[in-house]
Amino acid sequence: MVSTDDIVRMRAQLFFEGPQVRHRLSRFWLLLVLSAIIASAGVASNSTATVIGAMIVAPLMSPILGIVLAVVLNDRRNLVLCIGTVVAGVAAVIILSFLLGLIVPEPVTAATNSQVASRVTPDLLDLLAAFATGAVGSIALIRSDISDTLPGVAIAISLVPPLTVVGLTLESGAPNQAWGAFLLFIANVSAILATGVVTMAVYGVLHGRTVGGRERKWRRPGVIIIIALVIIVAVPLTTTSLSIARTSSQQAAVSEVVGDWATAKGWSVVSVDSSADGFVARVIGPPPTPATDQLQTALADAGVDSPVQLQLVPESQVTIEPAR
């Protein structure tokens, strides 16, 4: 169980109060700005190592966990301060990454950048991973004997990189991708809040505690709001998960049907990719170009209801004799 001394320690770690408040605030904003610059550079250059470095530096985890502690302690002042810090930090990272995107010569979008592509279509698996990581972070906060896991938590739960993707994709004219990255951030935050409250309950923090001569006891509305936030976030993530599963199933069907058709014609499939309008199948083989009349029926029988663009590339061979 958590003691009063543990709560005093956690307050000192998470809340911006006391004689060192200016020092802690300046440290927070310095680290946040630096992590935003590092993450923006890492995403723009498509460098995984650089993005990981930004995750370790990023300080956003502290005020988010501060929201959890303020809710369970019914500390309205620090709750408002922590929420304000998170909102201001989010806005600062997005604005800074947008401005840094102005000096990047090429658009930073999912089509050409794997760092962006991995953060613009969050699904339920991302939320599940965030739950587990948030639980580890909360336990590491409560139990000082395992606080050495926090760097790993910072890497596992992505906070600043999705926000930099929001700014960079907005600057690149891709608002839908920006929304996807922002949804990933919200999913991670909601998971931290939810698992934080659960962890506090398991360790007994939800029971009344006297801190600084005043009894602190959790209020149910704050917990209900956090649960509602998780449910709200889970809806679009579920939709995305179902859409991804459907696309994968249809892509597999297209690959099988087109592959059988191409083999029968003496051709071979090079690739089958999904696109905004459906699927693109690239097929190569010797001339003449085979007829595609039976292919439409076969795709329909396989349950493919999206357009399939067939790129037929006649294969030709040229023998170049050595010069004499």
241 and 127 Cβ atoms separated by less than 8 Å: no
Same domain, 40 and 152: yes
For residue 289, tell me if it sits in a domain.
yes
For residue 321, tell me if it sits in a domain.
no
pTM, to two decimals = 0.79
| Rg of the chain over all Cα atoms, to the nearest angstrom | 26
Q: Hey, CA dihedral for 56, 60, 138, 77, is it positive or negative?
A: positive
Q: How confident is the model at residue 231 (pLDDT cuts 50, 70, 90)?
A: confident
Same domain, 49 and 176: yes
Q: How many residues does the chain have?
A: 324
pLDDT at position 155: 65
For residue 174, tell me if it sits in a domain.
yes
Same domain, 89 and 36: yes
Per-residue pLDDT, averaged over 219-236, amounts to: 79
Same domain, 19 and 101: yes
Per-residue pLDDT, averaged over 9-24, amounts to: 83
User: How many Cβ atoms are within 10 Å of 306's Cβ, its own excluded?
Assistant: 16
> Alpha helix locations (H) across 143-219?
150-156, 160-171, 175-202
Measured in whole angstroms, how far is the alpha carbon of residue 131 from the centre of its chain?
13
Our count of domains for the chain comes to 2
Peptide bond before 288: cis, by omega within 30 degrees of 0? yes
Q: Could you give the CA distance from residue 260 to residue 295 in angstroms, rounded to a whole number?
A: 10
Segments forming the whole domain that contains residue 278: 250-314
Q: Reply yes or no on whether the pLDDT at 284 is more than 50.
A: yes
Per-residue pLDDT, averaged over 276-290, amounts to: 86
Q: HSE, CB side, 13 Å, CA atoms: give it for residue 151.
A: 5
